[in-house]
Structure 1
């Protein structure tokens, strides 16, 4: 408990404040007993260094030191009082209806036959960047969550948009897995450009949505709540941020609904994103960029005619219930200045599209947008306005980069501007150093601590699972296992809580680490996490990690010149499942994919050198189970099956793969199409090799 230490600190401070004045007054009296006379001044000038003057100088110096101490304590106390006042101001108070309901519930409890203990009220939750944010907020491991939306460092996203960001981020990694080309086994340290993490804003959104039990909403072109049929203008301090949010929101679903399109002008993009975004804009096929309002009107009218023709064709074919998505036009006030916007408004009305002008809109009303994305219609001052997504330039560019990776060509999967933290190869080890917290009693000798992170993360002490109370503690263990040389405070906080201001997380990290180390030490007397020079690392003397065994096997397989088959098989044997299976921490994706590629490379290398073609097919099928989205693996397996005369198995494998890609929102590449022509032989009814499914 901390209250004894706090009480002792308070007594010491009070002693320092009250003790020196009492001692000085008792021994020396007040520092100044009156103003010196003229005779005393002349005597001091003639002989300044006397016993009396030195005593007076020392007394005054002692009083000055005490005044500095008292000033410091007073400032700290006032700071604490102001912080408490701000906390109380944010304390959510019950509404009258809630207070009435609470009183009735309390009365029912008091008069009931069985008394029930009343839980203590939950502390107020401070919503930080990268967390869910709404009037009804709950807390999970320090992260505030709700249904309305999330706040990130660069703005705010509705929950539906945030879910689409997370889906797009997952699609980026599926696309990279699909396009990876296996190569000969290589050393642990990989420099694949497409293993870079996604931008920070996407990671913050993923982290805020992690571990939520509520299902993701159906993806669709977002509804622009309450936009009049003739369009609307948006002004105010949040206008540009709303424009960026609208740009991202509409484009997020472009890869799922190709008929949806956002039309905007070059001038609008320059104001929203800055002048140096041409390369990014070119990789967004659902974004149509025009120079003038007249071009936008012609494009919208053409889209309306195409949608009408498509609807007529579907009606003739007897297909009903097909949803046609309408265009959204995003302009600025300068685009509309001294131009006739009537043709654009008519075309948008015909196609049931929406027009949003960042500024005054000549053909319709103009709304006010505040910095939080809340819109207000001046014609209805008392009516509640909708809240749209708001983003700054950095956040919008981050999310557009993710969208570009889901829709652009394969070459666009070059790494985004971010720093990757690859697992460090063995050999670069910090020397073993004791810390002041490393008190390992002799009782720890003979205990065995093992950390398993391939599959479900589990910490074992003498073979028995040890419960880790905080989910952040599990993350710390997996992160340090993946980074064998350790990590500093900045790296850990950025990984565990992306997008949250780092200054507010140091205490949370220290608490997590303290509880984790204390739980292990209380169980077996061993210290498993060293802390040296603000760098944390797992103690290799006291803990065994399955991922490290896999790392060593990968390194050996890449450097072995003899018995290569045995060395490569050791990698397969050391890989029971993916890193932290089932966890959705954003920092996991690059590390998880790097390990997966090493294991796939080993499977393909063994298959290429296998003397038995049936054994080669088994190895390729095992590799497909590790990554069921990789095109190259399926092509190799199909070709091997065709070479064995197993045309039916090859056909089933290809069809299952195409269904899997379609369900994930991916599209087959040229390899799959060419393999389809090679495997179109007659089905073989006997002796089939079962294709991998699911």
Structure 2
């Protein structure tokens, strides 16, 4: 319970505010008794250090300290009051009809038990006035609506339907598969460890992934092509204008939704002008059309008309109202409708119906006030830009080796050995806590072992905290880092209590089972104690560091790296913060496999090492090219063809193109294999 602590804090603050003035007035008197006379000033100049002057100086200092304290308390109170007023302003109030319905329901429950009361369903929100201004920053305010019928995910920058959120998560997974496919192993070099890291995805994507991880999986997966057809079916055949405070937010959501659907259809799904893109995305709209195959960005409406007429397909045409002045958009809308698409004008459309757009994403047709309108995805510029990161294709030019990346967290494991563990047949007496050490296994299924037996951790967030501290921050993480990683997209102020409760239960469970304090808390940083805990990832990182700096016996050193990698980091877990560290760790091991294969004089053993690398990462195109070249050099053309076909099927099933092998056809490994043939 927090209220006793808050009450005690309030009493202490009041005592500090009221106590010093009372004491000063009673002991010394009021702070000001009038200005000093000329004789008093002359006497002070002649003899400044007297008992009276020292007392006056101390009194003035005490009053100044009290004024500083009062000023600090007043500022904090004003900040808290401002936040409360802002929260109250954003609090959605019930409409008169909803208030009446609530009152009728209460009367039915408490006063009229014998009568049946029929409550009419809530009516749609009243139409918004066309042309209402947006916020000063050009982004519509997104109010959270926690109704159970929303079927969507709230973000800091908008709202996504469940189907769109699932497409975002699928696109994010595709980003990591594409990175795995395109990575080329490096030769062992301690100066190039920084290049092995992969940048994480933006915060909005992480928030979507975390929200989906906590939500139950849908019973039936939606058809991607059907989702785009449903999006097109929202709008009337002849096109529609959208006006209101949520216009630009809905335009961004429509842009992202259409582009996500186009990834599955593999055809352009959106036609728009560069002026519209700039209005929606700001400076982030530059050169998007070259990196988005699903997008056709043109200069003018005339270009859009020619494009739709020459290549009819299922598309959405997105335009601004200002661009339609003096141009008949009806022909463009008719051509788009003939191909099964729709034209949407942001800001109103004099030649067709105009729907009102609420900041929450709800659309309202003024000609049908009795029918509730659909709700579309709404995003601000930051959220839309973040989501574009999982849609845009990387630049065609390969990254240069000099591109710096943040280094992988590394911690050297302590030299103390793991004590002998009790077997199942021996009594499980508690050993001395000073010589006892636990084992945390994070490669594969995360497990905390106490005397060789797994410890049950009830909270999934607690297990995630253990892995996070071991993999991402072995030297310690503060409260903001933990909350941002474990619960991305949720305000920190609402998570502090949840974090403390989770950590308290975790530390208590470990202490009761082993008598050890595994998680240290110093200077608001939480850290795993390496003196009490043995982590398999730390041992792997120590082996990687040793192999990268070894001068002799390098083959044995890199074999140790491969042997220390039983499975992916936290295999099967979908924590958003995990992907960059998991990919970096995997790349280190792939480097070890490639180095072993290059150094192996026996072709058969070299092929076995490459096959081991393919089991670690079956999507890597460079390893496949090396293995195919080794099979070809050995004369086993049938096995090489079978490996190639299997790899193409794997890429197709994952939604990746098969251009990787073409790009690597002239790689050094391929040319080496060809020379042996």
TM-score normalised by structure 2 residue count: 0.75
- Matched with 1:630 is 620
Runs of 5+ unmatched residues, structure 1: 32-40, 42-53, 107-130, 138-145, 308-325, 430-440, 677-694
Query: Is it true that 1:391 corresponds to 2:376 in the alignment?
Result: no
> d(CA) in 2 for partners of 1:403 and 1:348?
24
User: Taking structure 1 as reference, are residues 540 and 572 closer, same or farther at Cα in structure 2, changes over 3 Å only?
Assistant: same
Provide, for residues 14-68 of structure 1, a one-character-per-residue CA deviation record: whole Å limited to 9, x for no partner.
9999999xx9xxx99xx9xxxxxxxxx9xxxxxxxxxxxx9xxx9xx99xx9xx9
The DSSP-based 3-state class of the residue aligned with 2:153 is strand
The DSSP-based 3-state class of the residue aligned with 1:537 is strand
Runs of 5+ unmatched residues, structure 2: 35-54, 114-141, 415-429, 667-677
> d(CA) in 2 for partners of 1:228 and 1:4?
59
5 Å-filtered alignment, 1:559-578, equals 559-578=549-568
- Matched with 1:654 is 644
- Matched with 1:113 is none
User: Taking structure 1 as reference, are residues 674 and 585 closer, same or farther at Cα in structure 2, changes over 3 Å only?
Assistant: closer
5 Å-filtered alignment, 1:113-262, equals 135=146, 148-187=151-190, 190-192=193-195, 195-215=198-218, 216-220=221-225, 221=228, 223-262=231-270
Q: How many residues align?
A: 594
The DSSP-based 3-state class of the residue aligned with 1:444 is coil
Partners of 2:289 and 2:296 within 8 A in 1: no
User: Taking structure 1 as reference, are residues 477 and 90 closer, same or farther at Cα in structure 2, changes over 3 Å only?
Assistant: farther
5 Å-filtered alignment, 1:509-524, equals 509-524=499-514
- Matched with 2:426 is none
> Offset of 1:302 from its aligned partner?
1.7
> Offset of 1:540 from its aligned partner?
1.1
- Matched with 1:667 is 657
Partners of 1:163 and 1:217 within 8 A in 2: no
Aligned counterpart for 1:485 among listed residues 455, 462, 475: 475
Query: Is it true that 1:348 corresponds to 2:336 in the alignment?
Result: yes
Aligned counterpart for 1:268 among listed residues 276, 281, 306: 276
Query: Is it true that 1:424 corresponds to 2:426 in the alignment?
Result: no
> Offset of 1:268 from its aligned partner?
0.9
Provide, for residues 346-376 of structure 1, a one-character-per-residue CA deviation record: whole Å limited to 9, x for no partner.
2112112111100121332001111111111
> d(CA) in 2 for partners of 1:256 and 1:351?
19
Runs of 4+ aligned residues of structure 1 deviating over 6 Å after TM superposition are 1-20, 82-87, 89-103, 131-134, 412-415, 673-676
> d(CA) in 1 for partners of 2:4 and 2:273?
66
Query: Is it true that 1:367 corresponds to 2:367 in the alignment?
Result: no
> Offset of 1:229 from its aligned partner?
0.6
Partners of 1:235 and 1:369 within 8 A in 2: yes
The DSSP-based 3-state class of the residue aligned with 1:345 is helix
Partners of 1:236 and 1:369 within 8 A in 2: yes
Partners of 1:261 and 1:327 within 8 A in 2: yes
The DSSP-based 3-state class of the residue aligned with 1:561 is coil
> Offset of 1:95 from its aligned partner?
7.5
Partners of 2:631 and 2:640 within 8 A in 1: yes
User: Taking structure 1 as reference, are residues 9 and 658 closer, same or farther at Cα in structure 2, changes over 3 Å only?
Assistant: same
- Matched with 2:291 is 283
Partners of 1:341 and 1:362 within 8 A in 2: no
> Offset of 1:83 from its aligned partner?
7.7
Provide, for residues 648-679 of structure 1, a one-character-per-residue CA deviation record: whole Å limited to 9, x for no partner.
22222111111110011101125258869xxx
> d(CA) in 2 for partners of 1:487 and 1:636?
41
> Offset of 1:647 from its aligned partner?
2.2
- Matched with 2:435 is 446
Partners of 1:332 and 1:359 within 8 A in 2: yes
The DSSP-based 3-state class of the residue aligned with 1:651 is helix
Provide, for residues 266-301 of structure 1, a one-character-per-residue CA deviation record: whole Å limited to 9, x for no partner.
221121111453233421122111222222122112
Aligned counterpart for 1:540 among listed residues 530, 538, 546: 530
Of 534-543 and 622-631, deviating more is 534-543
User: Taking structure 1 as reference, are residues 580 and 661 closer, same or farther at Cα in structure 2, changes over 3 Å only?
Assistant: same
> d(CA) in 2 for partners of 1:413 and 1:214?
37
5 Å-filtered alignment, 1:604-619, equals 604-619=594-609
Partners of 2:196 and 2:588 within 8 A in 1: no
Partners of 1:284 and 1:404 within 8 A in 2: yes
> d(CA) in 2 for partners of 1:195 and 1:661?
20
The DSSP-based 3-state class of the residue aligned with 1:361 is coil
Partners of 1:486 and 1:536 within 8 A in 2: yes
> d(CA) in 1 for partners of 2:520 and 2:408?
18
The DSSP-based 3-state class of the residue aligned with 1:423 is coil
Partners of 2:157 and 2:382 within 8 A in 1: yes
Aligned counterpart for 1:400 among listed residues 388, 401, 405: 388
Provide, for residues 138-157 of structure 1, a one-character-per-residue CA deviation record: whole Å limited to 9, x for no partner.
xxxxxxxx971111121111
Partners of 1:134 and 1:149 within 8 A in 2: no
> Offset of 1:641 from its aligned partner?
1.5
> Offset of 1:556 from its aligned partner?
0.7
The DSSP-based 3-state class of the residue aligned with 1:536 is strand
> d(CA) in 1 for partners of 2:400 and 2:627?
27
- Aligned-residue Cα RMSD (Å) equals 4.7
> d(CA) in 2 for partners of 1:610 and 1:487?
42
- Matched with 2:367 is 379
Aligned counterpart for 1:458 among listed residues 430, 447, 452: 447
The DSSP-based 3-state class of the residue aligned with 2:526 is strand
The DSSP-based 3-state class of the residue aligned with 1:653 is helix
Query: Is it true that 1:295 corresponds to 2:284 in the alignment?
Result: no
> Offset of 1:329 from its aligned partner?
0.1
> d(CA) in 2 for partners of 1:356 and 1:613?
61
5 Å-filtered alignment, 1:21-60, equals none
Provide, for residues 596-641 of structure 1, a one-character-per-residue CA deviation record: whole Å limited to 9, x for no partner.
1110111111111222222111111111011011111111111111
> Offset of 1:98 from its aligned partner?
9.8
The DSSP-based 3-state class of the residue aligned with 2:537 is helix
Provide, for residues 513-557 of structure 1, a one-character-per-residue CA deviation record: whole Å limited to 9, x for no partner.
222222222322222122232322211111111100000000011
User: Taking structure 1 as reference, are residues 258 and 596 closer, same or farther at Cα in structure 2, changes over 3 Å only?
Assistant: same
> d(CA) in 2 for partners of 1:528 and 1:514?
12
